[in-house]
Amino acid sequence: MDNSARLYPDLSRLGRETEMFMATVETLSDAEMTAPSLCAGWTRADVIAHITSNGHAIAKLIDWATSGEPQQLYASSEARAQEIAELAALPRVELLGRLRESAQFFAEQAKRLEGELAVEEVDLHGKKIPATSIVALRIAEVVVHHHDLDTAWTIAEADPDSVLNAVEAAVRTMRAKGAPGMTLTTEEGEEWVVGDGALRVSSDREGMLEWLARGAAGNVDADGPLPVLPAW
């Protein structure tokens, strides 16, 4: 399974989204870091800590894809929560340094995905991820959590294909968590079916992502009442 044709464009977009994320984070003061984010119960520092931890965790999926040996991203959900809490408690400058190191580590590890892969799919919390989409998964994490920082940055500033990566990741979550049946269509021409596809929901990619990821329904249209969605 040759992944080289899509690897470098994906890595280029990941670099762009990561640098925008870093640029936003670097503008935040100590007080702004402790303000609430759009992730329930998390401050902005928690979100930044999650992206920092996530870079090393998702790199384990690269190990899986290239070796064929299943990997566990964290020892437990408690271990994940503890790691994020410890990172979030670091001084601002140290956390930002760890964030950049994590991003560089993932980008370097991702180069191992070029060429033949050992497996076609890996598993993330019960969600089947194409091995060729691991970089796209990281892009989705960066884009959604950049939005979660709740700053002047908007999803519209992300690359259109990066927003598509994020919508696809959110749809996988909806399917894995048994969301109500929906047919999701975008103005850009994509369509996804969740469950029996009964409810038709439409928007542009940005509006669809805001709804699927964080329940903001202001930019979506539906032919019936919108359901409460599982957490992304």
Digit-coded pLDDT (tens) for 43-69: 999 999 999 999 999 999 999 999 999
What domains does the chain contain, in order, with CATH numbers?
A: 4-153 (1.20.120.450), 166-232 (3.30.1050.20)
Sign of CA dihedral 50, 55, 58, 60: negative
Residue 101 one-letter amino acid? E
Percentage of residues in the chain with pLDDT exceeding 90? 92
Digit-coded pLDDT (tens) for 183-210: 999 999 999 999 999 999 999 999 999 9
Mean pLDDT taken over the chain: 95
Nearest CA-CA partner of 174 in 120, 137, 225, 228:
228
Q: What is the largest CA-CA distance in the chain?
A: 49
Digit-coded pLDDT (tens) for 139-175: 999 999 999 999 999 999 999 999 999 999 999 999 9
Contacts of 211 (CB under 8 A, 6+ apart): 201, 203, 217, 219, 220, 226, 229
Digit-coded pLDDT (tens) for 67-104: 999 999 999 999 999 999 999 999 999 999 999 999 99
pLDDT value of residue 5: 61
pLDDT value of residue 4: 60
This prediction's pTM: 0.94
Digit-coded pLDDT (tens) for 87-96: 999 999 999 9
pLDDT value of residue 46: 98
Contacts of 127 (CB under 8 A, 6+ apart): 172, 173, 175, 176
Q: Using the predicted structure, report yes or no on whether residue 1 has a pLDDT greater than 50.
A: no
